[in-house]
Homo-oligomer: A and B are copies of this chain.
Amino acid sequence: MPFDFAPLLNPKLPPAAGKFGGFPKYNFVGGHNDGSSIPVQTLADAVSRALLREGDTLATYGMQSGPQGYRPLREAVAQILERRAGMKTDPDEVLITGGSLQAMDLVNNALLEPGDTVIIEEACYGGAMTKLKKLGVDWVGVPVDGDGMRMDALAETLDSLKAAGKRVKFIYTIPTVQNPTGTVLSLPRRHEMLKLAEKHGIAIFEDDCYCDLIFDGPYADQRPPAIRALDDSGRVVYCGSFSKSIAPALRVGYVVADWPVLSRILAQKSDGGTGAVEQLLLAEFAQDFDAHVGNLNKVLKGKADALVEALEAEFGTAAEFTRPTGGIFLWVTLPQEVDTTRLAQVAAAEGVAVNPGAEWSADPESGKRRIRICFAHPPAETIREGMARLAEICHREFGVPARGRNVERS
């Protein structure tokens, strides 16, 4: 008789996972990237060279670099951050993690308790909210405009939370190509955010995972300095990742913070270290990083253009959005009558996957006319076909858009 695990299970478990059935044909969700842009030959050469040179160190946990991660990779991260984000970084203030998801878990666990409150952007990475919910932590969303999080609204929010006796621990922000809005926080606002954090005695958790993917607009040649680069108090805990700039299946991210707090973050990392071969590979590949990112951004711009063209053709004025200048996603507002949670469900059943806005909004109600469309993975032709399908489904379910490709829909 088969053993029944049900009576033994922890009652707080999430529901059972489903079996993987492959990606949908029109896959506009998740942080997947462009397959043909993976620098396969350079990566293969880099990892092979590094292994032949020092592969015998794989015999030790941490490759003789200790629990913070392979030291040459920490040095490479420090150089990339100094060069690209204007952030002077000591390799001893870098902790290599298993992607930025682990970074986020470690930072959250270090600073948060049930009942705490954090500030987030009004439209926000869904995974961040899922993690906060699991920890019993509340969030308050602050509106975003074309220059990123609005500082007048942040000031008001912090004041009113203080008046209500709420304990705010930190501002969680994605300032450089915000997920999902694609906005970049302006330099003056970066300074303002630091001042407001100082006034309220709170920290800032700066998530800079998308910062290397800027292909258009005023920041295409030079991004603004990281918030952590502008701070001299040490209140900013910074995290980044190679998932977006090189490949998501590489599970390597990093936390940068001053030692007094990094030592508390590190103390919780009990996984025996981050994968050594990926660390060797990335440290060796670092010399090619800027050139690779330059090529990738050209490809992403082409796909962003294809998406914009397809949305304009298929949805016309029914789809409102700002032309993307970076990142891998577009945040689209549809007409009042569209419930995007239902749209996403129906579309998924027909092979078109998009993120419903409610799951990417601090206040789900405010997201229900919105969808997030990830454009980095599908080829341009698939983007065009997928948007045509999505417009058809939206018209069938909600009566909009009324016209597509200049033809009245029946």
Contact A43 B51 (CB under 8 A): yes
A223 interfacial contact with B, CB 8 Å: no
The residues of B that contact A8 with a CB separation of less than 8 Å are 111, 169-170, 202-203
The answer, yes or no, to whether A274 is at the interface (CB within 8 Å) is: yes
Q: Evaluate contact between A10 and B40: CB separation under 8 angstroms.
A: no
Q: Which of B44, B110, B202, B260 contacts A47 (CB 8 A)?
A: B44
Q: Which of A57-65, A176-184, A363-371 contacts B (4 or more CB under 8 A)?
A: A57-65
**CA gap between A207 and B336 in the complex, in Å:** 56
Closest Cβ of chain B to A112, distance in Å, is 6
| B5:A261 contact, CB within 8 angstroms | yes
* Cβ B14 vs Cβ A268 within 8 A: yes
**Residue contact B248 to A67, C-beta cutoff 8 Å:** no
B16 contacts A267, C-beta separation under 8 Å: yes
Q: Which residues of B contact A272 (CB under 8 A)?
A: 98-99, 101, 243, 248, 251
- Shortest A338–chain B CB gap in Å is 28
Of B17, B55, B61, which is within 8 A of A31 by CB? B61
A51 touches B59 (CB 8 A): no
Q: A101 touching B270 by the CB < 8 A rule? A: yes
Closest Cβ–Cβ distance, residue A191 to chain B (whole Å): 16
Asked if A287 is an interface residue, CB under 8 A from chain B, the answer is no
Q: Specify the chain B residue showing the minimal Cβ separation from A261.
A: B5
| Pair B276/A63 contact, Cβ less than 8 Å | no
Which residues on B sit within 8 Å (CB–CB) of A44? Answer: 47-48, 51-52, 55
Provide the A6-50 mask, 1 if CB < 8 A to any CB of B, else 0: 011111111111111011000000111111111011011101100
B56–A10 CB distance below 8 A? no
A→B interface (CB under 8 Å): 1-3, 5, 7-20, 22-23, 30-38, 40-41, 43-45, 47-48, 51-52, 55-68, 92, 98-99, 101-102, 109-113, 169-170, 201-203, 233-235, 243, 247-252, 258-261, 263-264, 266-268, 270-278, 281, 377
Chain B residues near A9 (CB-CB < 8 A): 110-111, 264
Instruction: Give the copy number.
Output: 2
Residues on B with beta carbons closer than 8 Å to the beta carbon of A37 = 59
- A252 engages B233 (CB within 8 Å): no
Complex formed: what's the CA distance from A109 to B14 in Å?
11
> A62 to B67, alpha carbons, bound, how many Å?
25
A319 to chain B, nearest CB (A): 26
**Known pairs A101-B270, A113-B11, A243-B272; A249 contacts B68 (CB<8 A):** no
Given contacts A111-B8, A272-B243, contact A51 B40 (CB under 8 A): yes
For residue A269, give the distance in angstroms from its CB to the closest CB of chain B.
8
Interfacial chain B residues near A259, Cβ < 8 Å: 19
Asked if B275 and A98 sit within 8 Å, CB to CB, the answer is yes
Question: CB-CB < 8 A to A7: which residues of B?
Answer: 201
List B contacts of A99 (CB < 8 A). Answer: 271-272
Residues of B within 8 A of A268 (CB): 13-14
* Residues of chain B with a CB closer than 8 A to A38's CB: 55-56, 58-59
Smallest CB–CB gap between A222 and chain B, Å? 27
Please give the distance in Å from A190's CB to the nearest CB on chain B: 16
Contacting residues, chain B, for A34 (C-beta < 8 A): 59
Q: Closest CB of chain B to A230's CB: distance in Å?
A: 14
| Of B51, B59, B110, the contact of A32 (CB 8 Å cutoff) | B59
Report A231 CB to chain B, min CB distance, Å.
8
Are A249 and B57 in contact (CB-based, < 8 A)? yes
Q: Is there an interface contact between A251 and B263, defined as CB atoms closer than 8 Å?
A: no
